[in-house]
């Protein structure tokens, strides 16, 4: 029997199932149960899941918070984009807009921050490289994640959601410095 031909018997459900098929169904069932019980384990003990929050916001409200943080903690500029160094444990704001991440952040190693992310215009992807943290940033929503950088260096923020003709230029930076 094939998928193109009808079953040879009228009552196909009463046809006995072969031993090999029963074996593969059993293997698939056992694997599904293993994966089902591993999901809560990975969620609780795995480091791959970000604890995040999402709130509704507006572009002007989020822009005002970003501007307030930049005015308060600005320490310099790089290529016309302000570099801000907020204190450890504070709320840090970063926005995505065509085609940049704004501002550049300077964080301290082994200190926790609440990173607020939002988009001003289109869907953007927040991909922190080489750490491989990926979030979808949607206009009208503020994503909040708690981050604790555990290694110093320069990290690149890449937009991984196509957002238009300048998408390939949408890069941001996060510097992590030793205390």
| DSSP per position, 80-98 | TEEEE-PPTTSEEEEEEET
User: Each residue of 146-173: pLDDT tens digit?
Assistant: 888 889 999 999 998 898 888 888 999 9
Pick the CATH number of 52-177 from 2.60.40.420, 2.40.10.120, 3.50.50.60, 3.40.50.10300: 2.60.40.420
Confidence of residue 60 (pLDDT cuts 50, 70, 90): very high
Nearest to 104 by CA among 36, 47, 157, 51: 157
Helix and strand numbers (H, E) in the chain are 2, 12
Domain spans in the chain, listed from the N-terminal domain onward: 12-45, 52-177
**pLDDT, greater one: 33 or 16:** 33
Mean pLDDT of the chain, nearest integer: 87
Task: Classify residue 122 by its DSSP letter.
Answer: S
- What does the pLDDT look like over 62-89, one tens digit per residue? 999 999 999 999 998 888 899 999 998 8
Task: Give the rounded percent of residues in the chain with a pLDDT score beyond 90.
Answer: 53
Report, in angstroms and rounded to the nearest whole number, the Rg of the chain calculated over CA atoms: 24
């Amino acid at each position: 029997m094939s998928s193109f031909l009808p079953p040879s018997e009228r009552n196909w459900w009463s046809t006995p199932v072969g031993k090999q098929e029963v074996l593969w169904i059993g293997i698939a069932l056992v694997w599904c149960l293993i994966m089902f019980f591993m999901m809560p384990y990975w969620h609780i003990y795995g480091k791959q899941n970000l604890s995040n929050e999402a709130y509704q916001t507006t572009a002007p409200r989020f822009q005002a918070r970003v501007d307030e943080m930049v005015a308060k903690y600005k320490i310099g500029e790089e290529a016309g984009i302000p570099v801000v160094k907020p204190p450890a444990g504070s709320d840090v704001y970063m926005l995505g807009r065509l085609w940049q991440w704004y501002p550049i952040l300077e964080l301290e190693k082994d200190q926790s921050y609440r990173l607020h992310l939002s988009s001003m215009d289109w869907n953007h992807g927040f991909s922190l490289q080489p750490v491989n943290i990926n979030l979808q940033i949607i206009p009208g929503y503020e994503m909040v994640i708690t981050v604790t950088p555990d290694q110093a260096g320069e990290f690149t923020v890449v937009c991984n959601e196509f957002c238009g003709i300048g998408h390939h230029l949408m890069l941001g930076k996060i510097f992590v410095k030793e205390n």
